[in-house]
Amino acid sequence: MSIKEQLNTNIPKHLAIIMDGNGRWAKSKGLLRALGHESGTKTVNRVVDACRDLGIEYLTLYAFSTENWNRPKLEVDTLMRLLVKSLKRELSNFIKGGIRLNVIGNIDALPKKAKEELLSVMEKTKDLDTVVLTLALSYGAREELVNTVQELAEKAKNNLISPHLITEDVIKEHLYTKNIPDVDLLIRTSGEQRISNFLLWQIAYAELYFTPVLWPDFKEEDLYEALLNYQQRERRFGKTSEQLS
Ligand code: FPP
């Protein structure tokens, strides 16, 4: 039986990925970092298609962090250009595959062209529901939490909510990810074992999977391997094994 056939059951509903290693991939080949990002974009397309084929309903990709603004301007410009180019190219694939585009992060901080293209693709795919593909762009989890606290404090100040009624569910409803379930599996490529300010609230019970494979080299088989590994884990959510069985 092929790996793919073994993956029929217990597919995570929400997969999140920290795509890391584009720069090292390029360096190892004596190429410019930009070519690493370009190759990483091809991996994005492959992984989106693979997730759709596997029945993963929510895929969230860390494409650009709030900290990434500190990179050299040329590299930031390259990433934004790649984003626009790949959105234009992938729109027909999104429509064919039932992929709805969603964005989390401070979209207003993005260049006008990138923001416009994102909004346009989001509008054109808003009724699709096979996969919700969320790009985290100019995203930082602490910033998301600060926003949430500010919104709730404002509501409390205006007597729209009473502080003792601020529950976990209420907080969830104020996050950028309000319509998305918690993350089941988080993958990070390139051997780094960090969370880097990604979805801190939403990964509270996620399984974490770290692979040394650099993002441009990450293939369907690497995804299957991560999913097989996930399926072998016992998610207890604080209970005992006996309680679960
Ligand atoms: C990490 O590699 C990757 C990024 C900072 C950006 C991820 C972007 C892409 C995969 C391409 C564009 C995305 C879309 C959605 C079109 P790194 O540069 O940190 O690698 P390094 O740690 O080896 O230097």
Cβ neighbors of 28 (< 8 A, separation 6 or more) are 214
The response to whether residue 68 sits with its C-beta less than 6 Å from ligand 1 reads yes
Q: How far apart, in Å, are the Cα atoms of 69 and each of 17, 72, 80, 143?
A: 20, 8, 11, 14
- CA of 189 relative to ligand 1 center, distance in Å: 11
User: Residue 245's pLDDT is what?
Assistant: 72
Residue 172 within a domain: no
Domain of 94, in residue numbers: 9-140+183-232
User: Could you tell me if the CB of 40 is within 6 A of ligand 1?
Assistant: yes
Any atom of ligand 1 within 6 Å of the Cβ of 12: no
| 81 close to ligand 1 (CB < 6 Angstrom) | no
**For this structure, is 106 an active site residue?**
no
Residue 30 lies in a domain: yes
pLDDT averaged over every residue in the chain: 96
CATH number, domain containing residue 90: 3.40.1180.10
Nearest CA to ligand 1 atom 14: 83
CA distance 229 to 224: 9
Of 68, 147, 197, 229, the catalytic one is: 68
Give yes or no: 129 in active site.
no
Q: What is the pLDDT of residues 21-60, one digit of tens each?
A: 999 999 999 999 999 999 999 999 999 999 999 999 999 9
Neighbours of 110 (CB within 10 A): 20
Nearest atom in ligand 1 to 86's CA: 16
Please report whether residue 201 resides in a domain. yes
Residue 173 within a domain: no
**Domain contains 245:** no
Ligand 1 within 6 A of 21 CB?
yes
Residue 174 in domain = no
Q: Which of 40, 4, 45 is nearest to 21 (CA)?
A: 40
pLDDT digits (tens, 9 = 90+) for 49-102: 999 999 999 999 999 999 999 999 999 999 999 999 999 999 999 999 999 999
Instruction: Say whether pLDDT at 109 is over 80.
Output: yes
Question: What pTM was estimated for this model as a whole?
Answer: 0.95
Would 147 be classed as within a structural domain?
no
Domain count, the chain: 1
Dist. CA 169–CA 178, nearest whole Å: 10
